[in-house]
Amino acid sequence: MAIAKAERLMNLALCLLGTRRPLSKRELRESIEAYLEAGSDDSFNRMFERDKDDLRELGLVIETVENLDGEVGYQARRDSNSLPPITLDAEEAAALGLAAKVWQQARLAGAASGALQKLRAAGLPEDVDPYEAHGALEPRIPVHEAAFEPLMLACRDRRPVVFEYRKATAARPEPRHVEPWALECWRGHWYLAGFDRDRGAERVFRLSRITGKVRSRGGAFTAEVPDVVTVRETVASWAGETADRSARIRLRAGAGYPLRARATAVRELGDGWDELEIPYGHGLDAWLVEFGPDVVVLDPAELRADVVDRLRAVAKG
């Protein structure tokens, strides 16, 4: 939902809930700025009727009555729109409290703090610590990339975006025109999944490789958003975690700790080098390139060729 429409619906709901008597369309138009800017009466009437239907679909009970001047009036009585008391047991309240405390960034701290206050009011005791209740370490979802917030809003509002993106094998960033679908954190890094318009296919982007500002573009999505977006599975395939083969590489001693953690066997070669066997799957060549001169692929031959091609492309750039 567009921000302007959401604000308009909120203002209309507040007017209908806050009034002690039914308000006519004329009075509502004079009270809500967006309606004053609607232009003609026909434009306002269409906008108002759509908004009224949208609020009813969201669950707001709006009564239609005749007011004293013979006009039709509208009102949303609070007793007809009150929710039942929220009841949470200790485990449920603690779980929600834990989720609310995950976000540590300044832009999200206010919302998280407000959520915790509401949870306290809904049944989370003051002396119950969500972390102690679940016996877990304090969680964190770090968000250091400037691209996170504009992409989060673009995913929510279904707005296409454009940004400069530098692939692991490229010397310079390139513009990407993307219809953003979902953001997901995997092993400490944020990734965006979406439809790449230039390539006409689904792509996953690591936020730390986005340079410059994320800019919004008008228009609707051209590709259908899938019901399930497999961000983690795609990234795992890059790292060879969906491997069905084994690769043998030479790795400089003291380097490439992520590769060592994945290795099924390690053998010292001497002269500052080790030999590793690691699971081999789609995308492993792109991952190995990131380690530069610290890695030499021994076999299979096709993996070695792919890594050499990628390094040559970087050198030419």
Q: What is the pLDDT of residues 208-262, one digit of tens each?
A: 889 889 999 888 899 988 877 777 777 666 554 556 678 899 999 988 887 888 8
Query: pLDDT band at 297, cuts 50/70/90?
Result: very high
Please give the domain boundaries of the chain with CATH numbers for all domains. 3-80 (1.10.10.10), 90-134 (no CATH), 148-236 (2.30.30), 239-316 (no CATH)
Residue 237 CB partners (closer than 8 Å, separation 6+): 281, 282, 283
> What sign has the CA pseudo-torsion 226, 111, 17, 41?
negative
Q: What is the pLDDT of residue 7?
A: 83
> What sign has the CA pseudo-torsion 128, 131, 136, 137?
negative
Quote the mean pLDDT of the chain.
79
Q: What is the pLDDT of residues 8-55, one digit of tens each?
A: 888 898 888 888 888 888 888 888 888 888 778 888 899 999 999 989
**Greater pLDDT, 281 or 66:** 66
Answer yes or no: is pLDDT of 156 > 60.
yes
User: Where do we find the tokens 């940004």?
Assistant: 163
What is the distance between the alpha carbons of residues 278 and 241, in angstroms, rounded to a whole number?
10
Q: What is the pLDDT of residue 136?
A: 45
Query: pLDDT band at 291, cuts 50/70/90?
Result: confident
Q: What is the pLDDT of residues 119-149, one digit of tens each?
A: 555 555 555 454 444 444 445 555 667 888 8
